[in-house]
Structure 1
Amino acid sequence: MSAIRKHLLIAFASAFVLAGCVVGEMPPPGRYLTDGECRDLTALKTNANPTMAEHQSELAALRKAGYDPSPFWDDPYYPEDLQAAQRLVDYWFQHECTPIRTQ
């Protein structure tokens, strides 16, 4: 098995495992991000040592914004689709998580 193929297989398996680990929580009415996602995204922006749970929360928010990490190796729109989802999550974060950031 070639090294590139092996790395792609490992990356795909990791993305698959992470996707299954995201615990669903409903956001409050009229919002896209849950309180937990706001807390974790705030921690990611300020914490030097992010946790796996914070990364999983970020992935859940990116999925809500329409990003699908599973076909990353043959996605003709990568990285534009990831960047668009990141911009949308940042917009949601700025408008929905302001009270949490100021605590």
Structure 2
Amino acid sequence: MQAAIVGPTRRHLVTAIASAFLLAGCVAVGEMPPPGRYLTDRECHDLTALRTNANPTMAEHQSELAALRKAGYDPSPFGYDPYYPEDLQAAQRLVDYWYRNECAPLRTQ
């Protein structure tokens, strides 16, 4: 007979799985931001390209999504998010703030 996972054990399992997905996202991007920054140089480059290009690439969109996830946006895998679009807009404001403060000095070089 198997015991059901309940209470704190279940919470730890969910936390471990969520952490694994978060780390997998960091590995998929392939780089970590420099110390004291939230956005990587690649994300800064891709966000700049998204703001200026007429034909964005899939990689640029993936980079933007990675930045939004860092800012706390987590699109629902089930297609229903009771906090949409407010959670996306809040994450976008945070990414825009990071972009202005972290990527603007890189664009002027």
Report the TM-score, using the length of structure 1 for normalisation. 0.74
Larger Rg: 2
Gaps of 5+ in 2: 1-23
* Structure 2 counterpart of 1:55: 61
Q: Deviations over 1:55-94 (max 9, x none)?
A: 0000000000000113463211000000000000000000
Partner SS for 1:97: helix
Gaps of 5+ in 1: 1-18
Q: Is 2:85 aligned against 1:82? A: no
Partner SS for 1:30: coil
Q: Relative CO higher for 1 or 2, CA cutoff 8 Å, sep ≥ 6?
A: 1
Q: Is 2:80 aligned against 1:91? A: no
* Separation of aligned partners in 2, 1:47 and 1:80: 26
Partner SS for 1:73: coil
CA contact (8 A) 2:75 2:81 kept: no
CA contact (8 A) 1:72 1:78 kept: no
Report the TM-score, using the length of structure 2 for normalisation. 0.71
The root-mean-square deviation of aligned C-alpha atoms, in Å, is 2.0
The count of corresponding residues between Structure 1 and Structure 2 is 85
Percentage of pairs with the same residue: 87
Displacement, 1:23? 2.0
